[in-house]
Structure 1
């Protein structure tokens, strides 16, 4: 069973919403740390090292997008963005900056808690799951190598940095080079509850992964787009 004493940093400039989220998460077993804005969020993150962050997008001063970018420069901690329904651009920008998931306002606290559990479960149990299905921890295709137990990625001797979601996507694609995955199939590899339109975020995750692993992201050699269908990892003879 997952350790429910995980620390969750809750960042929202609206005290009522911030308190509501904290109270609910604490009621279901989590520890919470409130932050009223982006400045507080970055400062508290450095001091407390939370296991997951819930970050509102629209905040005065340093907003959620900029806060996420600053935190991503330091850590791959899971981040869930809170956005308004009209902020479609903010959802995609948040993912571009490294957020792992998003949920729109107004939202169900039960759903938010489920998203939190799903992200933490993926990080906490990745090693156990690998052992249970007896997957070789090392996957290497030409210059790219990943260790599924240590969650590390190397291009030749250079160590690369991916978020937990990005790593999960890359790992699943590399396990079946040449196989075409639809966006929904990729989404199902890390998201338990699939919502209408959510598959569009896969394009952003793939774009971010390419920025890290590809020498020329605009001319990808590892993760290939299969137009109208989804994506595949290049087979051995086609990769670089």
Structure 2
């Protein structure tokens, strides 16, 4: 199963994985009312069949599904590609949100949810996946390099010093982009949350720590002694790298 993501389309297509017919119908109608397309499926198995035939721009994934649960599905989707994932669940504990984010979800909304907030989050994820973060739009959209790594905000590609492309989720790329635009500066969790969620109400602050952990796994040579993303006690994080813009 390969989760494919399209770049820019006149009308984004969203896959809703929700076993509750009433909620699924409400979500599809809400999404369509805002000029987007949506298709509901009831399980991970149905999702796999659809993704093999059609590309989607975002997946809304219920965590509490019968059979294979949403957390397991999220892990599979993330290992297969970088399609944005918004998890939807009745679970309200912070640890559940953090687990979802650690498994690769880009955002997390709890039921009952405010329809306007949900739509805002959906549009923020689609905007970030297609164009980059609000922060990046205020900066030159030119390639950047640090320690042999090359980051391209326009194509949203990151290449390691050996020339291999490193796949990143929307949130991971946005986080690295925020760091590259603010090297050698202490950024609080609130600042990082704002930069990577484009002004929408984001998940709990500890979710930033989960995103940092995932990003470190992809760029740090030694996770026990990070050389790029430094933790600043009682402050936040600092990106210890010399970043240069490429011509």
Q: CA shift at 1:81, angstroms? A: 0.5
Note the 1:154-193 alignment, pairs <5 A: 154-157=159-162, 158-191=164-197, 192-193=199-200
| 2:24 pairs with 1:18 | yes
Q: CA shift at 1:37, angstroms? A: 1.3
- After superposition, the Cα gap between the structure-2 partners of 1:194 and 1:229, relative to the gap in structure 1 and judged at 3 Å, is farther
Number of matched residues?
234
Aligned-partner SS, 1:171: helix
Q: Partners of 2:109 and 2:133 in 1: how far apart?
A: 27
| 2:33 pairs with 1:27 | yes
Higher RCO (CA < 8 A, seq sep 6+): 2
- Cα deviations by residue, 1:111-155 (Å, 9 ceiling, x for unpaired): 11111011111122239985x646262211113221222211122
- After superposition, the Cα gap between the structure-2 partners of 1:187 and 1:133, relative to the gap in structure 1 and judged at 3 Å, is closer
| 2:228 pairs with 1:222 | yes
Deviates more, 1:92-101 or 1:36-45: 36-45
Residue number in structure 1 paired with 2:212: 206
Q: Partners of 1:173 and 1:226 in 2: how far apart?
A: 14
Q: Partners of 1:180 and 1:17 in 2: how far apart?
A: 42
Q: Partners of 2:24 and 2:141 in 1: how far apart?
A: 43
| 2:114 pairs with 1:76 | no
Q: Partners of 1:231 and 1:43 in 2: how far apart?
A: 41
Deviates more, 1:95-104 or 1:145-154: 145-154
Aligned-partner SS, 2:179: helix
TM-score of the two chains, using structure 1 as the length reference: 0.89
| 2:64 pairs with 1:58 | yes
Q: Partners of 2:10 and 2:94 in 1: how far apart?
A: 32
- After superposition, the Cα gap between the structure-2 partners of 1:137 and 1:69, relative to the gap in structure 1 and judged at 3 Å, is same
Residue number in structure 2 paired with 1:194: 201
Q: Partners of 1:91 and 1:46 in 2: how far apart?
A: 28
- After superposition, the Cα gap between the structure-2 partners of 1:198 and 1:123, relative to the gap in structure 1 and judged at 3 Å, is same
Would the aligned equivalents of 2:135 and 2:195 in 1 still touch at CA under 8 Å?
A: no
Residue number in structure 2 paired with 1:143: 148
The Cα RMSD (Å) is 2.2
Q: CA shift at 1:15, angstroms? A: 1.0
- Which segments of 5 or more consecutive residues in structure 1 lack a partner in the other structure? none
Would the aligned equivalents of 1:42 and 1:70 in 2 still touch at CA under 8 Å?
A: no
Q: CA shift at 1:97, angstroms? A: 1.2
Note the 1:94-173 alignment, pairs <5 A: 94-126=100-132, 133=138, 135=140, 137-157=142-162, 158-173=164-179
Would the aligned equivalents of 2:31 and 2:37 in 1 still touch at CA under 8 Å?
A: yes
Aligned-partner SS, 1:153: strand
Q: CA shift at 1:85, angstroms? A: 3.9
Aligned-partner SS, 1:106: coil
